Amino acid sequence: MAPVAQRVRGTQDILPADQPHWELMERAAHTTATRAGYQKIATPIFEATDLFVRSAGEASDVVAKEMYTFTDRGGRSLTLRPEGTASIVRAYFDGGLDQEPQPVRLFYLGPFFRYDRPQAGRYRQFHQFGVEVIGEGHALLDVEVIQVGWQWFSELGIGDLGLKLNSIGDEVCRPAYRELLRDYYRPHLDTLCEEDRIRFERNPLRLLDCKVPQCQPLKAKAPRIVDHLCGPCATAFASVKGALEATGIPFELDPSLVRGLDYYTRTVFEYQHGSLGGAQNALGGGGRYDGLAAELGYRSTPGIGFAVGMDRTLLILKQRGPVQPEGLDVYTLALEEVDQVHALKLASALRAAGLRVVLDPGDARLDARLRKAARRGARVALIIGPEERAHGEAVIRDMTAKTQVTVPEREIVAAVTQALAGA
Ligand code: HAM
């Protein structure tokens, strides 16, 4: 009979063999974020659909094509979160974080959902580590945030990383630039790809994100937003670049970096890695979103953050080969069925003493069970046979030296600990 269901397209299992890499990423996130004074936050997996429509923007790919939206039994339109920033801004106000000393520095880890075209490094359920700094707009915070992300990658030993940087202005200078871009593209509309013709109408800034070969010559000569920033945006961008240079993080200015979500103002950036290739080379990205809180109906409040893709980073970590999982200390087995419960009790006493203990409830031959113990990486086997049981004893076998000793039961914890020290 065929299984009733298969893994849903675009989802993946993070199997035990990949968990050491995964835990490495989680630990590095905790370390780098808390070292810089960031506090952990978790928000719901689903939110009111409007939250994402208003924040990412109706014309963004995320809202137009990629959201998992459903109506619940109460008739509400809900959406599985496609990204974290909008939820964090909502939680910042909902949870009264706006009343705390500013800025508030937050980090989060978890799954996100987009109806993307699945391929290596692109999934429908994926995972991000992200940070957000909300409540103060100083340009140094842009650099702090960029540095936290950079530090995460170096904590993981990932070199060969590129940082792309741009400023996309704000509500003062961007509208005029948008018109300038339209004026530039208008005479060439019939040479553009279909997607670009839609972008021209709905979201001209995204014209700069087009990867279609036929559109590249035109894009290369398009007016650059960095040449049309208003005074305050230009000053902020100069500060960011100056401070970034001082940190020693190498970066490349990319005037066509515009990002896929509409809430950004001023600084935008992406971490890229050569080995992934194609559209999946962005390991992470972020930027400033000073207009987002007001767009969501809250008091105008500046913010900046990034998110890195853990699934893409996992692909890079896996290229380095497997990480040895933490092995077992003790493999416990009873030779006869009547002694199983006794073995269970001993295993539990050893666990209470802090050891990693697996109980084998099987009835296979001893040599087969010892082979299993070796495959599980156990350093010591604890064997309870009828003889030992009768005398209130147990056998401790050193799996490496293949030697064994018989010890009284009341000394088992001490004897196993000693055997492990020598194993
Ligand atoms: P984003 O660029 O949409 O930004 O996503 C950040 C990262 O998440 C990407 O660079 C990529 O590594 C990963 N990612 C996105 N979509 C997928 C997918 N379908 N499969 C695998 N990985 C994916 C944001 O989400 C913003 N919230 C970042 C931010 C935080 N901006 C300010 N604060």
Q: Assess whether the C-beta atom of 149 lies below 6 angstroms from ligand 1.
A: no
More confident residue, 37 or 64: 37
Distance 280 CA to ligand 1 centre (A): 11
Q: By percentage, how much of the chain surpasses pLDDT 70?
A: 99
Which residue has its alpha carbon closest to ligand 1 atom 8?
309
pLDDT score recorded for residue 422 = 79
Q: Which atom of ligand 1 is nearest to the CA of 259?
A: 2
Cα distances (Å, whole numbers) of residue 109 to 49, 99, 132, 178, 315: 21, 24, 12, 35, 18
Count CA atoms closer than 13 A to 373's CA, side-chain side. 31
Q: What's the average model confidence in pLDDT over 329-353?
A: 96
Q: Is the dihedral of CA 254, 255, 260, 265 positive or negative?
A: positive
pLDDT score recorded for residue 277 = 63
Residue 205 in this model has a pLDDT that exceeds 60: yes
Q: Which atom of ligand 1 is nearest to the CA of 260?
A: 3
Q: What's the average model confidence in pLDDT over 347-374?
A: 96
Q: Which residues pair with 15 in a beta bridge?
A: none
Q: Which atom of ligand 1 is nearest to the CA of 282?
A: 10
Q: Is the dihedral of CA 12, 16, 17, 18 positive or negative?
A: positive
Concatenate the DSSP letters of all residues of 315-356 into one string: HHHHHT-PPPPP--SEEEEESSGGGHHHHHHHHHHHHHTT--
Task: Specify whether the CB–CB gap between 156 and 315 falls below 8 A.
Answer: no
- Cβ partners under 8 Å of residue 289, min gap 6: 85, 89, 263, 264, 265, 302, 303, 304, 305
Q: Which residues pair with 105 in a beta bridge?
A: 133
pLDDT score recorded for residue 25 = 98
Cα distances (Å, whole numbers) of residue 281 to 110, 126, 313, 419: 21, 15, 10, 49
Read off the pLDDT of residues 182-202 as tens digits, 9 standing for 90 and up: 999 999 999 999 999 999 999
Report residue 279's pLDDT band, with 50, 70 and 90 as the boundaries: low
Q: Which atom of ligand 1 is nearest to the CA of 313?
A: 12
Q: Assess whether the C-beta atom of 286 lies below 6 angstroms from ligand 1.
A: yes
pTM: 0.94
Q: Reduced to 3 states, what is the DSSP secondary structure of residue 108?
A: strand
pLDDT score recorded for residue 278 = 60
Cα distance between residue 395 and residue 373, in whole Å: 15
Distance 284 CA to ligand 1 centre (A): 6
Concatenate the DSSP letters of all residues of 262-305 into one string: TT-EEEEEEEEEGGG-GGGGEEEEEEE-TTHHHHTTS----EEE
pLDDT score recorded for residue 324 = 78
Which tokens go with 70?
């459903």
Out of 43, 83, 142, 306, give the residue to mutate to test ligand 1, the one with the largest number of ligand atoms within 8 Å of its CB: 83
* Mean pLDDT value across the chain: 95
Read off the pLDDT of residues 78-91 as tens digits, 9 standing for 90 and up: 999 999 999 999 99
Which residue has its alpha carbon closest to ligand 1 atom 16?
122
Count CA atoms closer than 13 A to 265's CA, side-chain side. 24
Q: Reduced to 3 states, what is the DSSP secondary structure of residue 9?
A: coil
Q: Assess whether the C-beta atom of 126 lies below 6 angstroms from ligand 1.
A: yes
Task: Specify whether the CB–CB gap between 98 and 106 falls below 8 A.
Answer: no
Cα distance between residue 220 and residue 216, in whole Å: 6
Task: Specify whether the CB–CB gap between 39 and 106 falls below 8 A.
Answer: yes
Q: Assess whether the C-beta atom of 122 lies below 6 angstroms from ligand 1.
A: yes
Q: What's the average model confidence in pLDDT over 218-229?
A: 96
Q: Assess whether the C-beta atom of 153 lies below 6 angstroms from ligand 1.
A: no
DSSP-derived pairing of the beta strands 357-360 and 303-309? unpaired
Distance 147 CA to ligand 1 centre (A): 17
Opening angle at CA 382, ends 377 and 387, nearest 5: 150
Cα distance between residue 134 and residue 202, in whole Å: 29
Q: Which residues pair with 163 in a beta bridge?
A: 271
Read off the pLDDT of residues 282-340 as tens digits, 9 standing for 90 and up: 999 999 999 999 999 999 999 999 999 999 999 999 998 888 777 899 999 999 999 99
pLDDT score recorded for residue 354 = 96
Out of 261, 264, 288, 313, give the residue to mutate to test ligand 1, the one with the largest number of ligand atoms within 8 Å of its CB: 261
Residue 260 in this model has a pLDDT that exceeds 80: yes
Which residue has its alpha carbon closest to ligand 1 atom 33?
305
